[in-house]
Amino acid sequence: MFAAIRVLTRRGFSTAKVLGAPQQMTVRDALNSAMDEEMEKDDRVFILGEEVAQYDGAYKVSRGLWKKYGDKRVIDTPITEMGFAGMAVGAAMAGLRPICEFMTFNFAMQAIDQIINSAAKTFYMSAGVVNVPIVFRGPNGAAAGVAAQHSQCFAAWYSHCPGLKVISPYDAEDCRGLLKAAIRDPDPVVFLENEILYGQSYPVTDQVLDKNFTLPIGKAKIMRTGTNCTLVAHSRAVELALQASAELSKGGIECEVINLRTIRPLDVNTIFQSVLKTHHLVTVEQGWPQSGVGSEICARVMEHETFFHLDAPVWRVTGVDVPMPYTKSLEIAALPQPQDIVTAVRTVLGGKSK
In angstroms, rounded to a whole number, what is the distance separating the alpha carbons of residues 347 and 92?
A: 49
In angstroms, rounded to a whole number, what is the distance separating the alpha carbons of residues 203 and 22?
A: 5
Identity at 197, one-letter amino acid code: L
**Annotated active-site residue in 37, 81, 173, 195:** 81
How crowded is the C-beta side of 336, counted as CA atoms within 13 Å? Answer: 30
**Annotated active-site residue in 37, 50, 150, 193:** 150
Residue 173, classed as helix, strand or coil, is: helix
Is 304 an active-site residue?
no
- Cβ atoms of 182 and 31 within 8 Å: the answer is no
> What does 241-305 look like in DSSP terms, one character per residue?
HHHHHHHHHTTT--EEEEE--EEETT-HHHHHHHHHHHS-EEEE-SS-STT-HHHHHHHHHHTSG
Torsion angle (degrees, nearest 10) of CA 269, 270, 271, 273: 80
Phi, psi (rounded to 5 degrees) for 96: -85, 175
Is 150 an active-site residue?
yes
Residue 313: cis peptide before it, omega within 30 degrees of 0: no
- Cβ atoms of 137 and 179 within 8 Å: the answer is yes
> CA distances (Å), 58 to each of 46, 51, 202, 284, 334, in order?
17, 6, 22, 28, 26
Q: How far apart are the first and last CA of the chain?
A: 60
> CA distances (Å), 19 to each of 26, 203, 206, 212, in order?
21, 14, 10, 21
**Active site positions, annotated:** 81, 150
